[in-house]
Amino acid sequence: MQFEEAKNKFVQTWGALGSQWGINKTMAQIHALLMVSKEPVSMEDIMQELQISRGNASMNLRGLMDWGIVYKANKPGERREFFVAEKDLDELATKIAKERSKREIKPALKVLKEVSAVDADNSEEAQHFIAQTKKLYDFVSSADEMIDKVTEYKDNWLGKLMMKILR
């Protein structure tokens, strides 16, 4: 396979995968493109390579920057802006995990706590509802904490050992 072909295939695949994970296709493609680009890329180039409009490029780049996984980069002597992706994968995973936790898990936990505090009338249905939503709360909140811990532990020897054993 030739370089351009491979690059294209990678970008397309990553985009399709993004859709399945609730990320819009273009955003995932831009991210993929930046991930494999050595040099910062201009908006013009992104539009060109992905065949998308200026507005689309602009909005999705903004989205990626909100996630904290793409940055602006200035090339000396150049007027326009260039973009680079966070390329360190541990760092990337950490940022995505933290952000999803903040945006989705935390609010979901709030709702779980609320609904599991429903007035316990004596119906079996209500009892079961309470038990089940409580279990769900515990489960989701320890999964959430665990992700925090795993990202922290990456830096110390015990954590690294665990990662070794686990994988």
Footprint on this chain of DNA (rule: CB under 7 A) = 19, 24-27, 42-44, 51-56, 58-62, 78-81
- CA dist list (Å): 163 to 10, 29, 145, 150, 151: 28, 30, 16, 9, 11
Which residues ranging from 99 to 158 are in contact with its own copies (CB under 8 A)? 104, 108, 111-112, 114-115, 117-119, 121, 123-126, 128-129, 132-133, 135-136, 139, 142-143, 145-146, 149-150, 153
Task: List the single partner that 26 binds among its own copies, DNA, none, CB under 5 to 8 Å by kind.
Answer: DNA
Residue from the set 38, 51, 155, 157 that interacts with its own copies by CB under 8 A: 38
- For residues 28 and 19, give the distance between their C-alpha atoms in angstroms, rounded to a whole number: 8
Query: What is the DSSP track for 82-115?
Result: EEEE---HHHHHHHHHHHHIIIIIHHHHHHHHHH
AA identity, residue 84: V
Measured from the Cβ of residue 77, the count of other Cβ atoms closer than 10 Å reads 5
Tell the smallest beta-carbon distance from residue 19 to DNA (Å).
5
For residue 91, what are its two tokens? Answer: 């760092």
Stretch near its own copies under the rule CB under 8 A, chosen from 12-20, 45-53, 56-64, 70-78? 12-20
- For residues 160 and 151, give the distance between their C-alpha atoms in angstroms, rounded to a whole number: 11
Q: Which helix (H) or strand (E) element contains residue 73?
A: strand 70-73
Task: List the single partner that 94 binds among its own copies, DNA, none, CB under 5 to 8 Å by kind.
Answer: none
Tell the smallest beta-carbon distance from residue 66 to its own copies (Å).
15
Residues that bind its own copies (CB under 8 A): 1-3, 5-7, 9-10, 13, 17, 19-22, 35-38, 87, 89, 93, 104, 108, 111-112, 114-115, 117-119, 121, 123-126, 128-129, 132-133, 135-136, 139, 142-143, 145-146, 149-150, 153, 162-163, 165-167
